[in-house]
Amino acid sequence: MLNEKTNIALNKQIALEGNASAAYLAMAAWCERQGLKGCALFFYEQSAEERMHMMKIIHYINEMDGHAVIPEQEKPRADFDSIQELFQAVLLKEKEVTAAIYDLLSISKESDDHSTTLFLQWYVAEQREEEAQIRTILDVIKLIGSGGQSLYFIDQEVDKINKEKAKEESAEELEAENY
């Protein structure tokens, strides 16, 4: 069973993950309006992934005989001046989520909640990967530049990431089927 402090902290994380999902959905819509199909697909997938993160926490709380609370969501930002500004906002959002995961981990360790500590390890690794991926995209954007034609190349690079991620997920699914 979850203690009250852990339950409250996990519910705050549900809100963070839900708000990240909504933010990435708004970013996907912005990218689509800009004609950046690769970036739009990237953010639609990111939105779905954040929702999945939220759902995992909801199921975990319920499994641990806690009480999952579905919060009201914040209205996400819908406009950006540039693709660079958009990805900078993503990096800040991911850092916020990472900090919250670390706080949750501290709470679970303080209360000797080994189950929650173990559960959160997946999130620690996931956040490391997500922050690294966004920093890589920002590095590519810096290399390509910010002119009108550069948007095409940025979109192509992000689409390559989409394809690599889809390949990795297919390989993981195939591996899981073989066990």
- From the candidate CATH numbers 1.10.20.60, 1.20.1260.10, 3.40.50.300, 3.90.79.10, the one assigned to the domain spanning 4-177: 1.20.1260.10
pLDDT tens, position by position, 121-151:
999 999 999 999 999 999 999 999 877 789 8
pLDDT tens, position by position, 66-84:
999 999 999 999 999 999 9
Confidence of residue 176 (pLDDT cuts 50, 70, 90): confident
Q: Has residue 167 got a pLDDT over 80?
A: yes
pTM: 0.91
Q: Can you give the pLDDT at residue 170?
A: 81
Q: Has residue 174 got a pLDDT over 80?
A: no
Alpha-carbon distance of 8 to 107, in angstroms, equals 11
Alpha-carbon distance of 18 to 51, in angstroms, equals 6
Q: Can you give the pLDDT at residue 154?
A: 92
Closest of 44, 51, 42 to residue 26, by C-alpha: 44
Alpha-carbon distance of 31 to 25, in angstroms, equals 10
